Structure formats: structure tokens, C-alpha cells
Amino acid sequence: MLQIYNTFSRSKQAFKPIEPGKVKLYVCGMTVYDFCHIGHARVMIVFDMVVRWLRASGYEVVYVRNITDIDDKIINRAIENGEPIAALTQRFIDAMHADSDELGLMHPDHEPRATDYIAQMQGMIGRLMEKELAYQVEDGDVNFAVRLFPEYGRLSGKSLDELNAGERVAIAGGKRDPLDFVLWKSAKVEEPADTRWSSPWGEGRPGWHIECSAMSCDLLGEHFDIHGGGADLQFPHHENEIAQSEGALYGQAHTASDEPFVHYWMHNGHIRVNEEKMSKSLGNFFLIRDVLKNFDPEVLRFFMLRAHYRSPINYSDIQLEEARSGLLRLYTALAQVPVSNQPVDPNSVWAKRFTDAMNDDFNTPEAIAALFDLASEVNRSQGAEKLDLANTLKGLAASLHFLQSDPTVFLQAGSRGCEDGLSVEQIEEQITARVSAKQAKDFAKADLIRKTLLEQGVVLEDKPGGITEWRRS
């Protein structure tokens, strides 16, 4: 049975969907004012993996990942560029989709944009006002009254007195408490016309937190199975989502025994660069599209998933090169046999080991370790057994979206961005020259060609029947 680490309970729990056989999953997506970086890639890859495994396990999954297309950073960038909000956000939505497609990620079943859900947000704010969990201040903003929601702080595991205003929780005049957060932002005179909507509380725009509550409840219902996102969203964003969603449903009478808004909370770990948290302020972040200029998308995916999703990752080119070497080992095993894509026997020892790892809170490091051991068995085996094991290797890896390229193409591709490497034609010419040298019994020359090619990153493998295969190291 699948076990999921629930951030809310801080423990692994047996996964039991609200509706048998069906899973409703919501993931916090991107704020689209710039290109996506590898921190965004980790969120996208992790939950792509989660969805693939849930579906491979027989669940019918509804996967929702939102787009924040109205936000202070978006407004500031649009003003700097002198362009409409919609033009800015569409450009970066298109760029996000291009990055996602190159990474081979599935599209979410729903990808709601915040600006299409203003009415739903206003409806939720209205219910919070009716339940006296929200109030309007003199400058027109509508805030959530945190101390009137008795369960606040359970996700982050802190008491109200321990919590401080989070990164996006601005302390503005008129708030009753520094922890109170904005639900509706009153329009400012200097802000463009395309950043405001009419409402019962005056012209303005939604706060950041209310977006996800309104969109998830509209698409998945007031209670759904899994909510995911980066660890940095746990507080205040997800804490606030719980408060406003359950506050709108239960009011101030809410208790711990009421059915929760979300049954399982999942958070992926940070990406670090040189042991520091990756951030734009430190200038140590990397765009997905720049990384993919030098590394195959599957290498980046493998790099992300060889660590457990809850663990921090330290990013470097060396780490990516190690991931590429690992993939080369797996593809080398598949290159030896004509894999026929037969269904994997779920009762095989390899399938059970792989499944047990994935069902243990999506333990991809252990699942990948099983793939490496299986690849070693492929290399040692012969005949029908070899073909069967290779089919199993490719079939199990498919649930992680690995090893689906043609092995020969992958092995001969080399690293991206290497302009000075030998071309395929040059390599084939050297192999032909080596064959001629061997036929002339000039073994010294044949050995020199092999050595020279190896120094240039090309590995030759002699096969029965006089066939020579090659790959880049």
C-alpha cells in the first residue's frame, strides 16, 4: 500500500483517497513574470513523477497546477517594460510550457489562471466576511483575522505567538495583527487599469493566498486528496490556504475534528547551490532553458529524482555529469538487446522491489538503485533471460519517464553544448580505419585508434561477428 509523508501530521500515512480509485491533486504553480529556473523544474518534475506513479498504480488522477498571472512582481515588471499585464504573462506562460515540454512532462489536467477566477475568489472572501473572519481596513484592503481561526499554525507546527509575518505577508497600517494577511488589495491610483477589478469592497485585485483556495475548491471540491508544492510554501502560503478555505467552510466554530480541506500535504525540498539556498537575491539561480543547453532533459530529470523529493539537492555541473554517467550505464544495458516493450510481470522480484520503493513515500533513490542492480543482471545474462530482464528494466523505468529514448541515439549523442567533439562521420571513419588496420594485422595502429578515440570521449566496444559499437563517455 502507498505510504505518503503528510507534512500536516509530520508522519508517513497509508494513502486512502476520498473516493476509492480516484485521486484529486493540486500543486502550486508558477508566478509568470520571468523564465522558469531549476527550482521550478524540481516542483514540476517531482509532481509529474507522483502523478505518473499514481496512474501506474491504477488510480484515476485529476491533476491541477495553477498559474499566478496577477501579482506585485508581475505588475512591477509590466510597468518596467511598458507593456500590458496579459502580454507579459502570456509570453512567460508560453516559455514555461516550452520548458515543460522539453523536459518531457505531462500537462496538468487543469491549469487555471488566477485572473479567470476573480469571481470565485470574491465569493470566498464574501463568505469569510459573513463569518466575521475577515475585515476591511481604512485603505480598502480586506484582511483575514488569523487569531479568530483556532487551528492556525498546525501545518507549520508553531503557535501563533511563535509565528512572524512571512515573506509575502506585508505589515500594513490598519491590520489588527501582524499575522493577518490580505485577501483583497485595494487598487492604487498609480497602478494600471488592467490590474484592478470591481468588487463589493471597491476596485482592487486578489491577494496571493486566496487564489489557490478558490481555484482548488472550484476544480476539486471543498475537500480533496493531495496538495503539493515547494517547502518554502508551507508557511505562510499553505498555512493561509488552510485557514481561509476551512474558515469559509466552518467559520470560527471550526475544530480539529472537522474534515480537513486537504487530506495529505506534500512538500519537495529546496535546491541549494554550493550549499546555499538558491535565490535570485544571491544571483545563484539557473534557468531551465540555460541548463538544457548543456544537458539532455532526461539527465536533469534523473538528477532531480535520484534524490528523495523531500531532501534538499545541491546543484552543480559535476552533479549533473554524475547523473549523465548513471543514465549512460542504464542505457548501455538496454543497447545490448532488442527490447520489445512487453508488459512487466508485476510479480517479478524486480517489479516488487521497485514497487515497494515507490510505495514508500515515492522513494525514487531506492527505485533507481533497483534499476541499476537490474541493469547489472542484464549485462550478466544471456538469451531469452537477457531480453526479459531488459524489457523489465525499460518497463519499470517508464513509470519515472526514464530510458524511453533509443539507446544508441542517447549513447552517441554526448553532452549538449560540446561544439568541439568528433562528429558521427569522423568517428565512423576512424572505426573503419581501425577495422582495416586489424585486417592488415597492424594491431598497434588499431590500438592507437581506440586510444585516441577514448581520449576524445568515444568508447569502442567490439561485438561478436566483427561488429564495433561506440558511445560517448
Task: Fill in the amino acid letter for 114.
Answer: A
Q: How many CB atoms lie within 10 A of CB 406?
A: 12
Instruction: Tell me what pLDDT residue 106 has.
Output: 96
Delimit the domains of the chain by residue range. Answer: 18-272, 293-413, 424-472
Instruction: Tell me what pLDDT residue 469 has.
Output: 64
The three grid cell numbers given for residue 405, joined into one nine-digit string: 529514448
Instruction: Tell me what pLDDT residue 169 has.
Output: 47
Task: Fill in the amino acid letter for 156.
Answer: S
User: Rounded CA gap, 60 and 51, in Å?
Assistant: 10
Instruction: Decide if 140 contacts 186 (C-beta within 8 A).
Output: yes
Vertex 50: Cα angle to 364 and 230 (nearest 5)? 90
User: Rounded CA gap, 73 and 372, in Å?
Assistant: 44
Torsion of CA 294, 295, 296, 300, to 10 degrees: -150
Left (φ > 0), alpha (ψ -120 to 50) or beta: where does 427 sit? Answer: alpha
3-state SS of 51-100?
HHHHHHCCCEEEEEECEECCCHHHHHHHHHHCCCHHHHHHHHHHHHHHHH
List the 313-315 sheet strands across, edge first. 276-277, 271-273, 313-315
Q: How many CB atoms lie within 10 A of CB 171?
A: 11
The CATH number of the structural domain formed by 18-272 is 3.40.50.620
With residue 469 as reference, give the H or E element that holds it.
strand 467-472
User: Rounded CA gap, 169 and 208, in Å?
Assistant: 10
Vertex 175: Cα angle to 172 and 178 (nearest 5)? 80
User: Rounded CA gap, 309 and 47, in Å?
Assistant: 9
The three grid cell numbers given for residue 229, joined into one nine-digit string: 508544492
User: Rounded CA gap, 395 and 355, in Å?
Assistant: 12
User: Rounded CA gap, 237 and 234, in Å?
Assistant: 6
Beta-strand pair 276-277/313-315: unpaired
Instruction: Tell me what pLDDT residue 197 has.
Output: 97
Instruction: Tell me what pLDDT residue 417 has.
Output: 53
Rg of the chain in Å (alpha carbons): 27
Residue 61, CA distances (Å) to 17, 33, 58, 360 in order: 11, 29, 9, 19
Task: Provide CB contacts within 8 A for 191, sequence distance 6+.
Answer: 75
User: Rounded CA gap, 85 and 180, in Å?
Assistant: 28
User: Rounded CA gap, 303 and 282, in Å?
Assistant: 23
Q: What's the whole-model pTM score?
A: 0.88
With residue 46 as reference, give the H or E element that holds it.
helix 38-56
With residue 245 as reference, give the H or E element that holds it.
helix 239-250
Q: Low-confidence residues of the chain, pLDDT below 70?
A: 163-173, 280-281, 414-425, 428-433, 435, 437-439, 442-443, 445-447, 454-457, 460-469, 471-473
Left (φ > 0), alpha (ψ -120 to 50) or beta: where does 21 sit? Answer: left
Task: Provide CB contacts within 8 A for 375, sequence distance 6+.
Answer: 329, 330, 332, 333, 393
Same CATH topology for 18-272 and 293-413: the answer is no
Q: For the packed helices 317-335 and 383-398, what is the interaxial angle rounded to 10 degrees?
A: 140
Instruction: Tell me what pLDDT residue 334 has.
Output: 93
Task: Provide CB contacts within 8 A for 51, sequence distance 6+.
Answer: 25, 61, 63, 106
- Would you identify the CATH topology of the domain 293-413? Four Helix Bundle (Hemerythrin (Met), subunit A) (1.20.120)
Task: Provide CB contacts within 8 A for 185, sequence distance 6+.
Answer: 141, 204, 205, 206, 207
Longest dimension (CA), the chain: 94
Task: Fill in the amino acid letter for 352.
Answer: K
3-state SS of 181-227?
EEEEEECCCCCCHHHCECCCCCCEEECHHHHHHHHHHHHHCCCEEEE
